[in-house]
Structure 1
């Protein structure tokens, strides 16, 4: 991609059209002209007649559709558009050019496309939707925004969308290379456990989409591709592994939500032929065939079919014709996978747990299946770990046998089983009751969630329901429909509250956490200390953006309550949440470090040394020890984190730690090592996320910060990253990259340009993150530095005044940040020739640094500059104290502060102290200091530097 690729103007234009249409279409006709006047304007406030014409054409088409298309048979026409009227090679569709056909099927033709406008290089998959009826364009515009919000490594991302010249909407998806999961597993010769681990990745991606209120509705092998993007290739490992997924194998789910878009009004069960809803025979759930509500349970069924096929090589329900299959899927229960296995050995491996898991996903009643894809994945993880699964009734014999399987060397099977039987299974009876209660709650939860997703009910409107609409409708129904099921209601309150928090509604999250807590304490509700802690944690998470201090108190209470339960796993959750969210905002750095150290120790004990969670905690601890001024600990902790986050299985988490390590190494002056770390992180993100993901842009920004290939390359990286963020509309990451761009321009001595970049960043921080946070105050300082470097001293002085005001208000008067800002302002005054003002500012910095630790670099630097200012004012005796303290900290002064040292502060302090002693009549003490400092200054700064000449003159006087 070109480094300065601009945002795609056509995509931006279409986004404005869609936004305006979506607002105006909901207004009464008499209010539309005023709204169009307001919305259809250019950036300088002038009327945009072309934009208005586009919006008005969509409004006219929508009006025509509501009056002139009722009763038309649109399905056959749509199918013809999809299969016969698709683009031809070389044709342009929006900003894309068709390269070749990839394939076609029941949802139409898919073409490989590339950017045709030269904005940047990218290939993608373009799918034209047969939505030529104007009544369906409006819903397409809304649905597209929901689909674009899906951001998961296992889901092919929606990159673009629009309406072609013939009026047919199209989607442009991430082009995922690979082969269907079933074909991949067969070709690589994957064993049972490897197939299960690969399938769990599929479940995780589906579960992510469900949490964002998107149902796939057409899961099948051709929509679940597996590719390999790590260093090992197919040729390197031709036979795969029996027990593990091949290195670099990545699942990519295609067409999420496309079936919903193709469904004319979500009111017909089959689109095998004619005007019917999208469906693939063999994979569709019974309720889809019967025309019932399409919910997350339909995806659970399809996952069950996919798992069945992955394990046995055949589908659970077949039919000689489509009609026969449709009848069978409504009336027939599938055989257990073990019953169709090719060999006795395979049947034995499938019998029991795996039969139960698969058949639970394939129950004809939606409410009897797993409540979610997450629950299905959780049961498979239990199976892989040798733990009891929830898909079968847990008898004493069963639990004993599973325990024995995990601990063969520790417990004799016969003894364990005998004890379980003779003792009457006292413990396992309780566990069985617990599992039955959990199963009942799960079934009730599944039934309720089916109601939330009634947007596809044939009796409901065809209009799409936005995420908040669905949540609000579900929230209203909890009390009405689950009045007698307190445990389910309390659990759902937490689910809904967590979803509200994810959608930016912390106030609603707090309200639902309070309701869950109140329900747990009410008459008739079973006391559950664990759930009460989880409710308190949700309450604190929701309260944090509103009242950080109050949230800190709740976090502390939740951690104490978690400890009281004796559940170490819950304590770990509470500690991790507290440290991650509250952190230094409501705790001291030392308290945050202590919290994380306890979490790390618990995680090691509970999850082992290879836990990815351990890696994340170690990385978080590495950042916090730096805040606590325990700088020597950061690098070892980050390297420990990398050791438990291998690229093959945890590529994204590893990239996060690598970027932190790169920034740290760069700050320590180890630029080459930092560049190597950021290059690895960038390669991982490109492999996992693609070139146009905002997280890839983030890595480009860090590479620009490190500038391992020089400032020109850093500028190219920063501009490439900014182009990605602009296209994605991600202001937060853009803010970070602007800082790197400013640094690159400063390194090229393009100071005026850097000043404008830093000013733009400062304004954007205020607009996006607010003006009362630390980021805003910190951003103000960069403006002053760039203006100083440009020689615009008056403007720089004004910028420093603003920065001093902001940093003092944010960090407190005695902060190191405030002291550093005074020092920088003093440099500007000195360069401008105002020695008195420079002396005043240096004194302010020194006074604020007196309380700092003796090893503080800021304190040492302030002492040196304040002493020099006093010396220049003829107050040599007063200068000796500050200068002596600076010399005593010379080991600190010799350490690079951020990048590579620009001046030898320690040698300058020694020379200035010698000069002060000479001025107060102590030449015998002054000469050794000056003789020590002068050669070092010549070597480091050169013979003609001001500091070198000053030291030489003092030594000449002393001699």
Structure 2
């Protein structure tokens, strides 16, 4: 299953999102569907919801487990058919009452042994399930049977082999049915009962392995069976086997050498552990020193480096490779982290071939795939974004399968929620608002369910608050009113305010609450609710000022405080309180200028500094201080121009264009004068006109970069006053036409 199938943009019918919660929340298989509302057959439900292949498999798995529960209670069905197995509106498997047909009639779901007069067994039910699955995938039975001709029907059932589902299925579904899924279906349809799946649950479990990307049991033979067939085909084999026994003796000698190698490995491990312990002890000593003023980020890097040294000395296992990749990701070593995670994934997949159905192995493989998505850290459309989404899709499928297999274990659902959250973050960066919103809602729904299971778990409350924060920001970006985003952000703040226990007064909870308050203030300010916005921002600023005073070395606290000050500048400027706004802008600028020096590898601080300088430029322009305003706009533009191209997001490119556009209108303006809109104004000198044209051409160029990186909302380009100086230009008009045409083609 590829990432496009799993993450089909809209979260519409037939996607994983439609059935994720339903599949997870489903408990033990139910009864006959009484009082559960209308029941439709599996095929009817699949057709009505336009389910893709993975969703059809999930629907079928639920039926398998329902049948297995019946078997566990001693019931043999004997008459399973597509018309007898259905699903309620809630997605629960239900039995459809039998019609008037004769119980002895032969059909495509009758097993070969039943044709020969044997009584119904669980194996016969497994055969019927295989036939139902075949029809669910191919839209036709595995074998054409005419009930009106019993002799021909019996011959077809016992002798005719079904075509592979991947060939029989409709053309638009064939690509999603691979060789493994063919093998699963045909294994269930074996003519010999003993060669089918041992139970309906085993069939469902093999589908779990298929959906998780692990090797399946279908089509495999035991090692002894392979050896026996090999010997029958090759009479010389017993002699060769005798030679193998001789080789086994040599193997024993090799094992002895390996034992010595293991002892040396343990010695290396002891050395690595000692080095890591020394590094940890040194860091702890520094943290415990009351007089120490070390930057926690520096200590964190040192501890991580010590951990990496430790893992490099341990056994060469997939888990060790994944741990080193996680450390590299935390240290900002992207290339090494990506390579490490991919190596770990390949190793887990190879190991999976020898340990089919191993839940712990499947979970480790999914964890590595989720880690790879984090390491790729895509900020724009491209191969990294595609690879990250594909990796999250594979991890999500595995967590979903594990959650279905172990419904009482919340860990799998918690990790699935994180997959949805990470996917939403990536889609948000790519400005794919609707799929991002669908993923964020799924994350919230899963975490709300987990909080009901463990209401006192503080970590779940904090994680849910973060999910609501993301949801609120996504809703705010849709520009459809303030009510929905404000509700989501209020919910996040309420969850954080309600944290109890050791984490109640932790800096982490306080910081998260302040960040959500800033988000809420932005929403309220954009909606014109000035008083609530002022109150929210005042509370956030107070929290962040306290955190920054108590923990001056923590850069993120100061960075968020500067963001709060920048928002306050906009609010004060809009209310005409320019002196207060300038003072606040100066404070934000001072904080950010220091952060840019301390954290040269953090482009977000450069972008925030540019925002602060642009706001100051707007204030100076309002006061008629054209020269100072132009200097401030130029400084803002220089900050963004100095960023690496890879670090500059679409939003950064757009801000750079605004800085240039605002600045060019002040070129040639004397203090006390108004911005000049007309490029042919007689007050402009030839040098002024040349300089303005240079600014304008560069502004349109970076606007194209913003569009290429997905920052292309038509209304923004059409209405933003900061771009007004560019509107008379032909190159800007052409760009705007392209953006509007693109928006019309992608409603």
> Contact (CA 8 Å) 2:312, 2:324: kept in 1 or not?
no
Q: Structure 1 753/383 Cα, relative in aligned 2: closer, same or farther at 3 Å?
A: closer
Residue 737 of structure 1, aligned match among 392, 411, 419: 419
> Contact (CA 8 Å) 1:877, 1:916: kept in 2 or not?
no
Q: 2:378 aligned with 1:711, yes or no?
A: no
Secondary structure in structure 2 of the residue aligned to 1:901: helix
Q: For 2:74 and 2:631, how far apart are their aligned partners in 1?
A: 84
- In structure 2, the residue matched to 1:396 is none
> Contact (CA 8 Å) 1:934, 1:948: kept in 2 or not?
yes
Secondary structure in structure 2 of the residue aligned to 1:119: coil
Q: For 2:584 and 2:378, how far apart are their aligned partners in 1?
A: 41
Residue 868 of structure 1, aligned match among 569, 572, 575: 569
Task: Please report how far the alpha carbon of residue 890 of structure 1 lies from its aligned counterpart in structure 2 after TM superposition.
Answer: 3.2
Task: Please report how far the alpha carbon of residue 635 of structure 1 lies from its aligned counterpart in structure 2 after TM superposition.
Answer: 6.0
Q: 2:594 aligned with 1:891, yes or no?
A: yes
> Contact (CA 8 Å) 1:3, 1:717: kept in 2 or not?
no
Q: Cα RMSD (Å) of the superposition?
A: 6.6
> Contact (CA 8 Å) 1:880, 1:916: kept in 2 or not?
no
Residue 935 of structure 1, aligned match among 627, 631, 634: 634
Q: Structure 2 matches for 1:764-913, cutoff 5 A?
A: 764-768=446-450, 772=457, 773=460, 774-792=462-480, 793-810=482-499, 812=504, 815-852=510-547, 853-856=551-554, 857-863=556-562, 865-866=564-565, 868=569, 871-872=572-573, 874=577, 876=579, 880=583, 884=587, 887-888=590-591, 890-892=593-595, 900-901=603-604, 904-906=607-609, 908-909=611-612
Q: 2:3 aligned with 1:3, yes or no?
A: yes
Secondary structure in structure 2 of the residue aligned to 1:711: coil
> Contact (CA 8 Å) 1:910, 1:933: kept in 2 or not?
yes
Q: For 1:746 and 1:632, how far apart are their aligned partners in 2?
A: 29
Q: For 1:897 and 1:3, how far apart are their aligned partners in 2?
A: 35
Measured against aligned partners, the alpha-carbon deviations of 1:803-822 in whole angstroms (never above 9, x if no partner) come to 11123324647611111111
Task: Please report how far the alpha carbon of residue 50 of structure 1 lies from its aligned counterpart in structure 2 after TM superposition.
Answer: 6.8
Task: Please report how far the alpha carbon of residue 710 of structure 1 lies from its aligned counterpart in structure 2 after TM superposition.
Answer: 4.3
Task: Please report how far the alpha carbon of residue 834 of structure 1 lies from its aligned counterpart in structure 2 after TM superposition.
Answer: 3.1
Q: Structure 2 matches for 1:192-207, cutoff 5 A?
A: none
Task: Please report how far the alpha carbon of residue 837 of structure 1 lies from its aligned counterpart in structure 2 after TM superposition.
Answer: 2.9
Residue 653 of structure 1, aligned match among 291, 295, 320: 320
> Contact (CA 8 Å) 2:521, 2:537: kept in 1 or not?
yes
Q: Structure 1 145/918 Cα, relative in aligned 2: closer, same or farther at 3 Å?
A: closer
- In structure 1, the residue matched to 2:658 is 944
> Contact (CA 8 Å) 2:616, 2:632: kept in 1 or not?
no
> Contact (CA 8 Å) 1:2, 1:121: kept in 2 or not?
no
What is the number of equivalent residue pairs in this alignment? Answer: 504
- In structure 2, the residue matched to 1:607 is 269
Q: For 2:665 and 2:504, how far apart are their aligned partners in 1?
A: 37
Q: For 2:578 and 2:598, how far apart are their aligned partners in 1?
A: 29
Q: Structure 1 664/732 Cα, relative in aligned 2: closer, same or farther at 3 Å?
A: farther
> Contact (CA 8 Å) 1:797, 1:828: kept in 2 or not?
yes
Q: For 2:295 and 2:206, how far apart are their aligned partners in 1?
A: 39
Q: For 2:665 and 2:564, how far apart are their aligned partners in 1?
A: 15
Q: Structure 1 818/28 Cα, relative in aligned 2: closer, same or farther at 3 Å?
A: same
Task: Please report how far the alpha carbon of residue 844 of structure 1 lies from its aligned counterpart in structure 2 after TM superposition.
Answer: 1.1
With the length of structure 2 as denominator, give the TM-score of the two structures.
0.50
Instruction: Please identify which structure carries the higher helix content.
Output: 2
Gaps of 5+ in 1: 75-84, 98-114, 161-170, 176-217, 224-271, 273-280, 283-305, 315-336, 355-379, 387-405, 407-602
Q: For 2:629 and 2:348, how far apart are their aligned partners in 1?
A: 53
Secondary structure in structure 2 of the residue aligned to 1:749: coil
Q: For 1:86 and 1:612, how far apart are their aligned partners in 2?
A: 68
> Contact (CA 8 Å) 2:617, 2:629: kept in 1 or not?
yes
Task: Please report how far the alpha carbon of residue 760 of structure 1 lies from its aligned counterpart in structure 2 after TM superposition.
Answer: 1.5
Q: 2:186 aligned with 1:140, yes or no?
A: no
Q: 2:309 aligned with 1:640, yes or no?
A: yes
Secondary structure in structure 2 of the residue aligned to 1:791: coil
Q: For 1:888 and 1:787, how far apart are their aligned partners in 2?
A: 30
Measured against aligned partners, the alpha-carbon deviations of 1:40-96 in whole angstroms (never above 9, x if no partner) come to 42344698667989xx9999999999x9669xxx9xxxxxxxxxx999999645669
Q: For 2:162 and 2:190, how far apart are their aligned partners in 1?
A: 20
Q: For 2:75 and 2:207, how far apart are their aligned partners in 1?
A: 30
Gaps of 5+ in 2: 6-51, 125-155, 288-293, 403-412, 641-654, 675-747
- In structure 1, the residue matched to 2:652 is none
> Contact (CA 8 Å) 2:610, 2:635: kept in 1 or not?
yes
Secondary structure in structure 2 of the residue aligned to 1:159: coil
Q: For 2:328 and 2:378, how far apart are their aligned partners in 1?
A: 14
Q: For 2:329 and 2:178, how far apart are their aligned partners in 1?
A: 28
Q: Structure 1 765/614 Cα, relative in aligned 2: closer, same or farther at 3 Å?
A: farther
Q: For 1:635 and 1:929, how far apart are their aligned partners in 2?
A: 46
Q: For 1:663 and 1:767, how far apart are their aligned partners in 2?
A: 30
Q: For 1:123 and 1:117, how far apart are their aligned partners in 2?
A: 13
Residue 18 of structure 1, aligned match among 45, 61, 64: 64
- In structure 2, the residue matched to 1:751 is 433
Measured against aligned partners, the alpha-carbon deviations of 1:739-775 in whole angstroms (never above 9, x if no partner) come to 3332332233222332222112211233357565132
Task: Please report how far the alpha carbon of residue 689 of structure 1 lies from its aligned counterpart in structure 2 after TM superposition.
Answer: 5.0
Q: Structure 1 120/930 Cα, relative in aligned 2: closer, same or farther at 3 Å?
A: farther
Q: Which has the higher contact order (CA 8 A, sep 6+)?
A: 2
Task: Please report how far the alpha carbon of residue 854 of structure 1 lies from its aligned counterpart in structure 2 after TM superposition.
Answer: 1.9
> Contact (CA 8 Å) 1:777, 1:803: kept in 2 or not?
yes
Secondary structure in structure 2 of the residue aligned to 1:41: strand
Task: Please report how far the alpha carbon of residue 828 of structure 1 lies from its aligned counterpart in structure 2 after TM superposition.
Answer: 1.9
Q: 2:450 aligned with 1:762, yes or no?
A: no
> Contact (CA 8 Å) 1:642, 1:657: kept in 2 or not?
yes
- In structure 2, the residue matched to 1:230 is none
Q: Structure 2 matches for 1:165-204, cutoff 5 A?
A: 171-172=218-219
